[in-house]
Structure 1
Amino acid sequence: MSSPATARRLWALAEPFHALTYFAPECRDAAEQAGLRGFWNGYFAQRAAPLGATGPEVVTAVFYNFAPAFVARRLPAVWADVSPAAALDARLAGIDAAVRRVLGEEWIGSDDAVEAMDLAATAAAAVDLPGRPLAAANTAVQVPGEPHLGLWQAVTTLREHRGDGHSVALSQREVDGVTAHVLAAAAGRSDREWLMRARGWDDAAWDDAVARLTERRWLDDGELTAEGLAMVAAIEADTDRLALGPWQALGDTGCDRLAALLAPVRRSVVAAGDWPAGNPIGVPDPE
């Protein structure tokens, strides 16, 4: 049976393809053309659009690691500029243009693209919905007919399913959003400056989180203690375990084949410069 390591490997392989929606210039342009001025208006509108025209409280809850005031500066104001349906159209338009540049027309029309879509869609159809609000919302999004867009929607549903589980793993250990970022920086998965800028936390909030983690003996002089290392490992292990269900439904053979199909896709995204080093998502290199 597929193991938690399988879930982690497929996340690492698929995430750069999903993240074109954040980093590719075509995606930013599509958001602007839809009426979403500025990166963060586009980000919050397009990622939250499957939930409907919801407000900052719900988005703060389900996105988990953003400063509440940072979210509230964009929501619900963005819904005066664009409807959720229009935001979904814009994100697909951006992905369509980005994938055509990064992977080319030959790949888009290839048997590999069709097979990858079919495998990812099989896994995405098996996500468990209770306690997975972002994954559940994405399962209700109409699946595009083109293979590259269908693949993107499937891996998006799967990564939001994983993210929902990660929130559970953090919450059960009383690790809030800013504290999660402090742990990620201490573990070397990203850096403080980028995380603060990209998630809206200020120095006071960060320093308070450091103090709380020091009191819990997870940090010592800003470095992870043995207990802190163990807790970070436990959170990641729980996240992998909670992400496993869809991959078990796909099966070992299907998972291995999808990994083989996603590896060159990931390489193309990285080579194109659309996966910035040290970005705040904190995805490891696939093993």
Structure 2
Amino acid sequence: MSVASAVKDQIQQIGGGFMFSREARSFAESTGVPGFLPGYTRGRGGVLGDVDADVVTAAFGFFRPEAIRQAWESTAAMSAEAGAAGYLKACQDFGRRKLADFDDSGRLAELLLPVVAAANPVGVPLFAGWRALPLAEDAPGLVLQLIHILRELRGGLHLIGVLGSGLTPLQAVLIAGSPLKPGPDQARNFGWPEPFDEITAELKGRWMQAEQITEDLIAPAFAVLDDKQGDELVALLTSCHATVFGGR
């Protein structure tokens, strides 16, 4: 198993944990618009700038365009720059709270930094935008920031893989779901209306192809680490995951 494959669940789940954290909720409330999606869209998409909602839809990929437009425009009173800054602080603060007693934050950050730096930003605008923001000066905040950045990298590359495999974003959501929600529930959360497509064996095969494309595209970023460093990264991210979710 490649390093990228061995750490994908840890990165996905820790980053997802931040997005549903008390820090992220507090940021969402600061937009003045109730609900999860408006704050999430303004915060995560803020790195794209004060753009039309179609630009945010293009980067997010898996959400219904009408839902993104409504969420993005409903929070227009907050600038994109302020949205990104607020979401960044929420991300870092989540790391500071969850990893305060994680002694290996400094070393984990040292291993994540070259991976983030080595990744190609072509085709993954959210990754590029988040990588361009100032880095936290403390290790716990930095670790969560780097995990979020790598989550954006994989998410953007997966969207490329999905489209290249002949799937629609909705079909991919219905197949994959999330660690906490089956596909149909996740699709509803992303604003898609029913009825949903039937998921056939052929579509599942295409999704496996999309997964392989994602693996192939992300592998060069992790290739900057040697075998010993790769093994250490897997171990530390696994321990980090246990620390983040151990006090649920």
> Is this a same-fold pair by TM over 0.5?
yes
Query: Per-residue CA shift, 1:212-250, capped at 9, x if unaligned?
Result: x6xxxxx1xxxxx2x444322222111111111110012
Query: How do 1:219-258 residues align onto structure 2 when only pairs under 5 Å count?
Result: 219=200, 225=201, 227-258=202-233
CA distance in 1, matches of 2:34, 2:76: 12
Aligned to 2:10: 13
Q: Do structure 1's residue 71 and structure 2's residue 68 form an aligned pair?
A: yes
| 8 Å CA contact retained: 1:31, 1:90 | no
Query: How do 1:74-153 residues align onto structure 2 when only pairs under 5 Å count?
Result: 74-80=71-77, 82-103=78-99, 105-107=100-102, 110=103, 112-153=104-145
CA distance in 2, matches of 1:77, 1:118: 39
| 8 Å CA contact retained: 2:94, 2:141 | no
| 8 Å CA contact retained: 2:92, 2:145 | no
CA distance in 2, matches of 1:20, 1:182: 21
- Seen in structure 2, the aligned counterparts of structure 1 residues 85 and 190 have a Cα distance that, compared at 3 Å, is same
> Please, what is the CA RMSD of the aligned residues?
2.3
- Larger RCO: Structure 1 or Structure 2 (Cα < 8 Å, ≥ 6 residues apart)? 1
SS in 1 for 2:76: helix
Aligned to 2:19: 22
The code of the aligned residue for 2:48 comes to: L
**1:189 Cα deviation from its structure 2 partner:** 8.6
Q: Do structure 1's residue 174 and structure 2's residue 155 form an aligned pair?
A: no
- Seen in structure 2, the aligned counterparts of structure 1 residues 165 and 134 have a Cα distance that, compared at 3 Å, is same
Gaps in structure 1 of 5+ consecutive residues: 214-218, 220-224, 274-287
CA distance in 2, matches of 1:124, 1:188: 24
* TM-score (structure 2 length as normaliser): 0.89
SS in 2 for 1:106: coil
- Seen in structure 2, the aligned counterparts of structure 1 residues 255 and 73 have a Cα distance that, compared at 3 Å, is same
* TM-score (structure 1 length as normaliser): 0.78
Aligned to 1:198: 189
| 8 Å CA contact retained: 1:138, 1:157 | yes
CA distance in 2, matches of 1:201, 1:272: 33
The code of the aligned residue for 2:115 comes to: A
Count of aligned positions: 248
The code of the aligned residue for 1:126 comes to: A
Aligned to 1:283: none
| 8 Å CA contact retained: 1:121, 1:151 | no
The code of the aligned residue for 1:8 comes to: S
CA distance in 2, matches of 1:40, 1:235: 26
**1:190 Cα deviation from its structure 2 partner:** 4.3
The code of the aligned residue for 1:33 comes to: S
CA distance in 2, matches of 1:192, 1:259: 28
**1:142 Cα deviation from its structure 2 partner:** 1.2
CA distance in 2, matches of 1:35, 1:127: 35
- Seen in structure 2, the aligned counterparts of structure 1 residues 31 and 261 have a Cα distance that, compared at 3 Å, is same
Query: Per-residue CA shift, 1:62-84, capped at 9, x if unaligned?
Result: 1111011111111133131x222
Q: Do structure 1's residue 262 and structure 2's residue 237 form an aligned pair?
A: yes
Gaps in structure 2 of 5+ consecutive residues: none
Larger Rg: 1
- Seen in structure 2, the aligned counterparts of structure 1 residues 53 and 251 have a Cα distance that, compared at 3 Å, is farther
CA distance in 1, matches of 2:179, 2:26: 32
